[in-house]
Structure 1
C-alpha cells in the first residue's frame, strides 16, 4: 500500500469517502462536503493528491458550514486550521526531525522522504515559523525556521 492509499484508508476509517472528480475550474484541487472529499482528477501524481487529501481531511476534523467564500474572517480561519491539520498530519515537527535523522540534506530530500510536494513543505515551514518563531525545541532537537528553509540541530 503506497502513502496515498494509506491516507485514503485513514480517511475511510474517519468516515470520509474519497472520490476523484473533474472540477470545472483547474484552480480547484479538492473539496470537502458532508463526509465526502472530491480530489481533482487533473492532479499530476499521487504526491499532489496526498497533500490535497490531507487538507480536505483537515476540513472534516476542524471546519463547519459552508466556507467556500473567503470574504469572511471565520471562513479564512477555518481554512487555515484545516491546512495546519494537514501539515501536522503529513509533516509535523517530528517528521522534520525524522527526515534529518534519515540524512535529508535539502528541501527536495525532505519532501521526497515525507512524500509531499516541495511547495507543500514550504507552505508548512512558513506556517510553522509564524506559529513558533525562528526556532522551536523538541526533545533534544532545535528546529530553526528560515523560510523557505529549515535547519535542525541535535543537542547531545
Structure 2
C-alpha cells in the first residue's frame, strides 16, 4: 500500500470525502470544501500524496475562503495549513528513520517518502525555519544547515 493510499484511508476515517476529478490541467492542485477534498486526477500518486497532505492541513486549520493571497490573514492560514500538511508526510525523526533504512541522499529520501524532491526540500526548509540550523530530537541531532546531516548522541551530558 502506498503512502498516498494510507493517507486516503486516514482521511476517510475522519469522515472526509476524497474526490479525484479531472480539473482540466496538469498542475498540482486540490481544494478543500467543508468535508470534501478535491484532487486533480491528472497527477501521479506522488503528487496526489502531496496535495492530499496539504488539503488535509487546510481541513484541520483553515476557516473560510482563503484564495485571495493578497490578504495577510489568508497567507497566514495558507502557511499554517501547509505546515500542518507537511506533518502528514513526515516529522523530523522520520528523516533519521529513512537514513537508517538505507537512504544515502536526498533523492532516495524523497522516493522513500513517496514525494517529489522539491516537496522534500520545502519540508526540510520549513524544519530549518522552525528549529534553526539544527536540533536535538531524542538521542539524535539533525542538522538542517548548511546541508542535511544526522548524529546519534551517546552521552546525554554532552553539550553543544
Q: Output the TM-score relative to the length of structure 2.
A: 0.90
| In 2: Cα distance, 1:9 partner to 1:59 partner | 17
**Residue of structure 2 equivalent to 1:136:** 135
| Cα RMSD after superposing both structures | 1.5
Given that residues 142 and 148 in structure 2 are in contact (C-alpha distance below 8 angstroms), is that contact kept between their aligned partners in structure 1? yes
Structure 2: runs of 5 or more not aligned: 155-160
Offset of residue 26 of structure 1:
4.5
Change (3 A) 1:39 1:78: same
Aligned to 1:33: 33
The structure whose Rg is larger is: 2
| Whole-Å separation in 1 of the counterparts to 2:46 and 2:28 | 16
Q: Within 5 Å, which residues of 2 pair with 1:1-156?
A: 1-24=1-24, 26-27=26-27, 29-43=29-43, 45-146=44-145, 149-156=147-154
Structure 1 gaps of 5+ residues are none
Q: TM-score, normalised by structure 1?
A: 0.92
Residue pair 2:39, 2:51 contacting (<8 A) in 1 also: yes
